[in-house]
Amino acid sequence: MTDDDFDAQVAGIAALGEPVRRALYRYVIAQPGPVSRDQAAAGTGVPRHVAKFHLDKLAADGLLEVEFRRPPGRRGPGAGRPTKWYRRSLRELRRPAVAPGPVRVRPLCWPRLGGCSRSRATSRAPTPAA
């Protein structure tokens, strides 16, 4: 994994740290087709302007893809501009692979027990009586 891939994965995961954004993302990916801002706002119970802000952030981070098209039933020259529709992007969120660090070796016995042995097979020698 390159540094750019790692940075993209971390940014994608960080974008879902906001609870409203995470709820909108979950709503969009649960739908069978693209959803509009109004549908996402109604589906998650947030105001439309809040949904617009967070959906655009998710799209900027590459978690959602955007397409423009007219809503069903609106045609002709007076139909207005096309609506923004959101759908899940093809990008996968995976936990970034981290290089393994040094292995921590613990002694087989704790200092309170009076000493440590190098292996389990080696038993502790009796302490001479003083």
Q: How far apart are CA 41 and CA 35, in angstroms?
A: 10
Q: Which residues of 99-126 are buried (b: 16+ CB within 10 A; e: fewer)?
A: eeeeeeeeeeeeeeeeeeeeeeeeeeee
pLDDT at 4 over 60: yes
pLDDT in tens, 46-84: 999 999 999 999 999 889 999 998 777 777 666 678 889
Question: Taking the domains of the chain in order of start, what are their residue ranges?
Answer: 3-88
Q: Would you call 14 exposed, middle or buried from its count of C-beta atoms within 10 A (0-12, 13-18, 19+)? A: exposed
What amino acid is encoded at 41 in this protein? A
pTM of the model: 0.63
The CATH class given to the 3-88 domain equals: mainly alpha
